[in-house]
Amino acid sequence: MNLGNRANPFAGDLSPQLRLPGNRTFPKRFALHYLAAMTPLLNFSLCLAAAAFVVSCAAPQGGSSSGRDVYGHRPGPKNFQTVIIDAGHGGKDSGAVSRSTGQKEKDLALDTAKRIAAALRGDFKVILMRSDDTFIDLDERVVRANRHGGAILISMHYNSGPSYLRGPETYYWRVDSHGLATRLQNAMAQASSGEYSSRGLVRRRIRLTRNPEIPCVLLEGGYLSNPVESALIAQPAYRQKLATKIASAIRTQAAQGDAGTGPLPRPINAPPSRPTDAAE
C-alpha cells in the first residue's frame, strides 16, 4: 500500500521550489522557516494517516465508506437467502481420479453438490453452478456467482495428494468467509471418521476464495488418493452424510452469522487471484 503519497496532504508541497500565488517564491531562509514550522503539522498528519491505516485494517467492516470492500474485510454472512453450490471441475476437467475406485472428482463433487442442494431447498434459493458434466472456466464461475446478492458460494471438491493423507479440508481467504469455513470444516469433520478426520482450515488465495463479491469457501471432502477414504467417499450413504452436515452448517451460519466461530483472522490486502496462481 502506498500510504505516503495518498495520505499525506503535504507530500507535494515540500519541494525545494515553494511557489506562491503570482509565481513568487520564498527566499531560501523563509523556506527553511516554513519547513521548520510545518514539521509538527507534517508529523501530525503522518500520525493521522497511520491511525487511519490501523483502524481500516482492524475494523471487520473494512476501510471503505460503504463498510464493504472488494477484499471481503467484513464479518461473515448472516440471514442470506441464496446459496450457490459449485461442483468442482466438469467436462474435460476430471479433477482427481481415485486409483483404487476409478471414480472421478468431477462426478463425486457433482453428486455431493446435488445432495447439499436437495437438503437446503425450501429454506434457501439454491443455485447449482453446474448440474451436469460440463466444463466451466473458474473466472466464469466467479462472474456467475457475482450475479447474486445476499448469497454465499460453496465450491465442492475432493482432494488428492500423498496416499497417507486423509480427512476433509476447507479453503478460505477472506475475513467474511472465515466463520462459514470454520462451521463447514467442523461439519465435515463430524461426518468423517478415524484418527486423521480433519485437516482443518487452509487460508489460500485462489480464484474461488478471493475473487467473488460474496462470501466464498472451497471444500475438499476428503482424499481420493487415500485408499481408505476413497472407499468411504465411494459410498452414497457417506456422501449423503457429508451433504447433510454441510447443509446444517450453512443453516447455522444463516441464523447466527459468525457467533461462536472464534476471532476473525487478520485482513490481508491482495490482488485478485489469476489463472497463473496455484492450481485449485
Q: How far is CA 142 from CA 124, 128, 139, 153, in A?
A: 20, 13, 5, 9
Minimum gap (Å) between residue 113 Cβ and Zn ion: 12
Give me the numbers of helices (H) and strands (E) for the chain, helices first please: 8, 8
Restricted to residues 124-163, the positions that interact with Zn ion (CB under 5 A) are 157
Looking at the Cβ atoms of 229 and 258, the one nearer to Zn ion is 229
Looking at the Cβ atoms of 125 and 204, the one nearer to Zn ion is 204
Distance CA(12)–CA(163), nearest Å, equals: 59
C-alpha cell at position 70? 472488494
First to last CA, the chain: 27
Minimum gap (Å) between residue 235 Cβ and Zn ion: 20
C-alpha cell at position 187? 461439519
Looking at the Cβ atoms of 80 and 158, the one nearer to Zn ion is 158
Looking at the Cβ atoms of 112 and 252, the one nearer to Zn ion is 112
Under rule CB under 5 A, residue 75 binds Zn ion: no
Residue entry with cell 473458474: 138
Selected binder of Zn ion within 62, 72, 75, 88 (CB under 5 A): 88
Looking at the Cβ atoms of 56 and 94, the one nearer to Zn ion is 94
Selected binder of Zn ion within 95, 168, 179, 215 (CB under 5 A): 95
Task: Single out the segment in contact with Zn ion by CB under 5 A; choices: 23-31, 94-102, 221-229, 271-279.
Answer: 94-102
Minimum gap (Å) between residue 95 Cβ and Zn ion: 4
Question: CA 187, 192, 195, 200: dihedral to nearest 10 degrees?
Answer: -40
Closest CA to 269 of 102, 134, 125, 72: 72
Minimum gap (Å) between residue 129 Cβ and Zn ion: 13
Minimum gap (Å) between residue 49 Cβ and Zn ion: 43
Minimum gap (Å) between residue 88 Cβ and Zn ion: 4
Q: Where are the alpha helices (DSSP H) in the chain?
A: 3-7, 28-58, 105-120, 138-145, 178-191, 207-210, 227-233, 236-256
Kindly list the residues in this chain that would bind Zn ion in the complex (CB under 5 A): 88, 95, 157
